[in-house]
Structure 1
């Protein structure tokens, strides 16, 4: 999972869920690769729509509360014009490649830029010279020098002097990735479509979101491919320390509900293609089934390998195909039969009593009215919010030009004015910070706020407000203030939440993988 996870602050304020948070973003968030110099897409998120991408069930009435993710609707936009057939690349962050030893000599953007400059300068120096052998010798000298001085840049430079003109024309990043753009013929032969499904509100009670057909799908046809991440069940167990030496298991991660598994195997398989995670269960109305994929991308030979060997691999190789078991109409919800074990577990869960937490206040409820006044610290002394929620403010902190003033106790006070141009369209929840509302003032129909802004627990160093500083931001618009549940307070941390993987049929799972 390590190679597929995103930091919590990339996932719509998920960083507030716990002390340390990572998230998985199926679809483009897990299928796309990264290239340091060919980024052509980026996550798209707008603060106005943030709560539209949070599902919610009430613990007071819903048995499904905490059983489904409240985070969905992750969108990606083109960062530039993308030619038909191009591979999509997103940024994994500036440190993703440099911090991994296996990529110690992989060029990053600055190396490709430097290589482009060196090649252009060399070509300019060779104008009017026709001795190709002499040019190659001079180029070899440059390559040897770069090999000693800067191996990353050296890796971005062609060996053959005859290839320099082409590399200069398209850039070294494109030069070393000749298959960056595939033909339509190649894609038809080697690719699989993922646009047969779209998510929406499920017709199944307590199921949350569902997957619906975007077109008519004939019986026996592929509904969606499902590449799989293999996971050991123990990885998803949640532990609590009871003393200095001992831990106890007190539940499983929510991810378990989105995995395929078998009661007699320690293997879990998580599908990470687009929208398939929204396919819900029905024993009577199922119109789809899983089978091992017929795609060349599926490593069929893995099914003969020992289970421990499969679980130890750091790359994926297994795939399911989700196949229509009857004709599926346009707009019809796609449903799987999750199996007897899942049904039995759900029926047991339904017998449990839902605690009546009347004093539980949800961030979703508070965020519905985006025009309401947010209480100041002074007002909360007599009329507090309930303890499960906290207030966050959108603010992107930059250490430069702080305008600090020395205050009492060695603290430095920083006064900033909220800037619409700087903060409009800030991506995800990474710049939502805990804040205390100090005052508000009405201008026309809208409130603007002054707030003290803080760091959240896990942040990049360059984003942190120094411990010795107090940051106060003025003129914050109401839409840039949002409520969120405090850590370990949202539905997925609810102790009675349902947890059960989708059952892999006996005839699909190799018998030598049944190790429990």
Structure 2
């Protein structure tokens, strides 16, 4: 080894070791193709698949921390995955299938809707942003859904007043994805599914067991080596190879331990290729160089999602709506959507769940109570397509398709099954299967397209005809509502209190007797805490509770369910710039019986939720009816209720 190498190594090995501990990643921005996002066959589709799995691809480059297109609704399935559903016909098959498309209740803030669980399906970005075991470039921005604000006049829904829309639409809106690293144009969107998913998809040839942090460390080594060679341009190729061998065989083994061999395998053994690794976007992208699709490939195999934007519907009592983002010609495909099929719509019947004590093992078990009949139907039914002669319903999962409202006979669009000459073909073989056979299909295999029935101008709301059966059900619901509820007060719900207390201080023990909250309202605050820094008393002498200082969250992005706690508001004081600050009591640790007081909690950190079975979703007579599927789209093989 030369003395020149020794001098270089002495200085730079320490530098490398320190940077090996850093887990930052590098993204490479690609060229824009004018389309914000593409729907196309996923990179994770196996070669043996008879029908491609679809995913979302960036049509333009998105910087780290930028918000990705499409804000979606989240639709909770409340206590759906209970044993009584698994025991129903097709129950186990349907539940096993749907579990792959749901996000946890913590992601959407539906933790208190039921007593077992309330995970949600998020059409569009939630279903089509796929999983990769060693790579993710996007995650849900929980603040966008947990802190969602509904203006009191947005849907003509005033606090404490009855409204047709109550219980008919999901209150969980504005589900949004954020780029967690730079996403080059042509790159597929892979969401962070969490560690529980890692290693589950071993049968997929594109999934491997190398951890994403292994790639991050390998990237740091590559970057450091390139910097070193550029700082010393006089090094010969042999010397570069000697330095590289020393770093990977000696230094890496010392720093990375058991992972050294894995990380070493990710780095080319030729120094000349290190720059190409950087240009590819890092060791992961270098290994999977075909993961970034070209504009030509996307145009040939995908569909550009540039036609729809969301907004408040122009249709009375419709809630949110889909609007044309550009001019659309008659006969043009507005969008194409994969459909998730549910073989038995009776699985969406809801019952109250009670916990019964098991005296044999001194535990509580969940049982459903049929004595008073069903609570109603899951709200997912309102967002699904169905037909009176079939037990099967279909949930569209294309971006923002669930926002398309009923235009009845004046509808400017219509739905059809995708055909062989469309960008994405609908395999006709599945249209010939029976409902029983479809229950065994554990993939989203059906594709539906929304087609313009006439020219649609930019900014015009896009509508379809929900069908006669849906219209009769809505007319009946509206007629009954006008007789029993119109003009009458409605029990206050969390959505109402969020509006009422936006610019009004929360109640304390001194004020709550005069202004009581409804019994089924929960008060929660987002809390990051620390010890008091001022040396004041650390324990509440009256109650023996520890006193903590509120330190966050202070940024919008930091508001997530991990920091959300049920609280009792103990006191309040005016605070310039924050409106009001509070002292609250919450269970912050693992022991739910152990409480602590938190001081200086800002008004903006607190909110309201409904307790289980009390939100508008659970209204006894809430509207429930699937969107009507045109007669021509329901084959005889699916008409099992004739």
Same fold, judged at TM 0.5 (above): yes
SS for the counterpart of 1:341 is helix
Q: Distance in 2 between matches of 1:451 and 1:327?
A: 57
The counterpart of 2:415, out of the listed 273, 277, 290, is 290
Q: Distance in 2 between matches of 1:229 and 1:504?
A: 14
What is the CA deviation profile of residues 308-341 of structure 1, one whole-angstrom value per residue up to 9, with x for unaligned ones? 2322222212111100011111111111111111
The residue that corresponds to 1:80 in the other structure is 181
The residue that corresponds to 1:374 in the other structure is 506
Q: Distance in 2 between matches of 1:92 and 1:16?
A: 22
The residue that corresponds to 1:478 in the other structure is 603
The residue that corresponds to 1:460 in the other structure is none
SS for the counterpart of 1:352 is helix
The counterpart of 2:455, out of the listed 324, 327, 335, is 327
Structure 1 residue 428 displacement after superposition: 4.5
Q: Distance in 1 between matches of 2:261 and 2:150?
A: 44
Q: Distance in 2 between matches of 1:155 and 1:203?
A: 56
Structure 1 residues 350 and 216: alpha-carbon distance in aligned structure 2, compared to 1, 3 A threshold: same
Q: Distance in 1 between matches of 2:145 and 2:468?
A: 42
Do the aligned residues in 2 keep the contact of 1:230 with 1:268 (CA within 8 Å)? yes
The residue that corresponds to 2:584 in the other structure is 451
Name which of structure 1's ranges 107-116 and 300-309 shifts more when overlaid on structure 2.
107-116
Q: 5+ unaligned residues in a row in structure 2: which ranges?
A: 1-97, 229-236, 250-257, 357-366
SS for the counterpart of 2:99 is coil
Do the aligned residues in 2 keep the contact of 1:115 with 1:154 (CA within 8 Å)? no
Q: Distance in 2 between matches of 1:483 and 1:257?
A: 25
Alignment of 1:234-245 (within 5 A): 234-240=346-352
Structure 1 residue 8 displacement after superposition: 1.8
The residue that corresponds to 1:180 in the other structure is 291
The counterpart of 1:496, out of the listed 607, 610, 621, is 621
Structure 1 residues 431 and 342: alpha-carbon distance in aligned structure 2, compared to 1, 3 A threshold: same
What is the CA deviation profile of residues 221-255 of structure 1, one whole-angstrom value per residue up to 9, with x for unaligned ones? 01111111111213322134699787454421101
Do the aligned residues in 1 keep the contact of 2:127 with 2:397 (CA within 8 Å)? yes
Do the aligned residues in 2 keep the contact of 1:395 with 1:423 (CA within 8 Å)? no
SS for the counterpart of 2:148 is helix
What is the TM-score when the length of structure 2 is the normalising length?
0.67
The residue that corresponds to 2:190 in the other structure is 89
Q: Is 1:258 the equivalent of 2:383?
A: yes
Alignment of 1:110-509 (within 5 A): 110-113=213-216, 128=238, 157=265, 165=273, 171-232=282-343, 233-240=345-352, 247=370, 248-293=373-418, 294-296=422-424, 298-353=426-481, 354-355=484-485, 358=489, 360-368=491-499, 369-396=501-528, 413-420=545-552, 424-444=556-576, 446-454=579-587, 465-509=590-634
Do the aligned residues in 2 keep the contact of 1:53 with 1:72 (CA within 8 Å)? no
SS for the counterpart of 2:414 is strand
What is the CA deviation profile of residues 84-143 of structure 1, one whole-angstrom value per residue up to 9, with x for unaligned ones? 21222221122222567868963332344577799999999xx84999xxx9xxx9xxxx
Matched pairs, number: 490
The residue that corresponds to 1:34 in the other structure is 131
Do the aligned residues in 1 keep the contact of 2:527 with 2:552 (CA within 8 Å)? no
Structure 1 residues 395 and 98: alpha-carbon distance in aligned structure 2, compared to 1, 3 A threshold: farther
Structure 1 residue 40 displacement after superposition: 2.3
Structure 1 residue 288 displacement after superposition: 0.6
Do the aligned residues in 1 keep the contact of 2:539 with 2:547 (CA within 8 Å)? no
SS for the counterpart of 2:376 is strand
Structure 1 residues 121 and 228: alpha-carbon distance in aligned structure 2, compared to 1, 3 A threshold: same
The residue that corresponds to 2:66 in the other structure is none
What is the CA deviation profile of residues 379-407 of structure 1, one whole-angstrom value per residue up to 9, with x for unaligned ones? 324432122322111114799x9x99899
Structure 1 residues 466 and 161: alpha-carbon distance in aligned structure 2, compared to 1, 3 A threshold: same
The residue that corresponds to 1:142 in the other structure is none
What is the TM-score when the length of structure 1 is the normalising length?
0.81
Do the aligned residues in 1 keep the contact of 2:528 with 2:552 (CA within 8 Å)? no
Q: Distance in 2 between matches of 1:443 and 1:406?
A: 23
Do the aligned residues in 2 keep the contact of 1:198 with 1:212 (CA within 8 Å)? yes
By relative contact order (CA 8 Å, sep 6+), the higher-ranking structure is: 1
What is the CA deviation profile of residues 178-229 of structure 1, one whole-angstrom value per residue up to 9, with x for unaligned ones? 3321111111111112221112121222111111111111100011111111
Do the aligned residues in 2 keep the contact of 1:342 with 1:503 (CA within 8 Å)? yes
Structure 1 residues 159 and 367: alpha-carbon distance in aligned structure 2, compared to 1, 3 A threshold: closer
SS for the counterpart of 2:304 is coil
Name which of structure 1's ranges 353-362 and 190-199 shifts more when overlaid on structure 2.
353-362
Do the aligned residues in 2 keep the contact of 1:221 with 1:324 (CA within 8 Å)? yes
Q: Distance in 2 between matches of 1:358 and 1:390?
A: 21
SS for the counterpart of 1:415 is strand
Name which of structure 1's ranges 490-499 and 381-390 shifts more when overlaid on structure 2.
381-390
What is the CA deviation profile of residues 282-309 of structure 1, one whole-angstrom value per residue up to 9, with x for unaligned ones? 2221111111112335333322333323
The residue that corresponds to 2:94 in the other structure is none
Q: Distance in 1 between matches of 2:406 and 2:198?
A: 40
The residue that corresponds to 2:149 in the other structure is 51
Alignment of 1:56-67 (within 5 A): 57=157, 60-67=161-168
Q: Distance in 1 between matches of 2:265 and 2:303?
A: 34
The residue that corresponds to 2:111 in the other structure is 15
Name which of structure 1's ranges 25-34 and 271-280 shifts more when overlaid on structure 2.
25-34
Structure 1 residue 358 displacement after superposition: 3.4
Name which of structure 1's ranges 319-328 and 90-99 shifts more when overlaid on structure 2.
90-99
Name which of structure 1's ranges 303-312 and 152-161 shifts more when overlaid on structure 2.
152-161
Structure 1 residue 155 displacement after superposition: 11
Structure 1 residues 377 and 9: alpha-carbon distance in aligned structure 2, compared to 1, 3 A threshold: farther
Q: 5+ unaligned residues in a row in structure 1: which ranges?
A: 140-148, 456-463
Do the aligned residues in 1 keep the contact of 2:498 with 2:607 (CA within 8 Å)? yes
Q: Distance in 2 between matches of 1:113 and 1:186?
A: 29
Q: Distance in 2 between matches of 1:280 and 1:185?
A: 34
Q: Distance in 2 between matches of 1:90 and 1:451?
A: 35
The residue that corresponds to 2:86 in the other structure is none
Do the aligned residues in 2 keep the contact of 1:405 with 1:412 (CA within 8 Å)? no
Structure 1 residues 37 and 396: alpha-carbon distance in aligned structure 2, compared to 1, 3 A threshold: farther
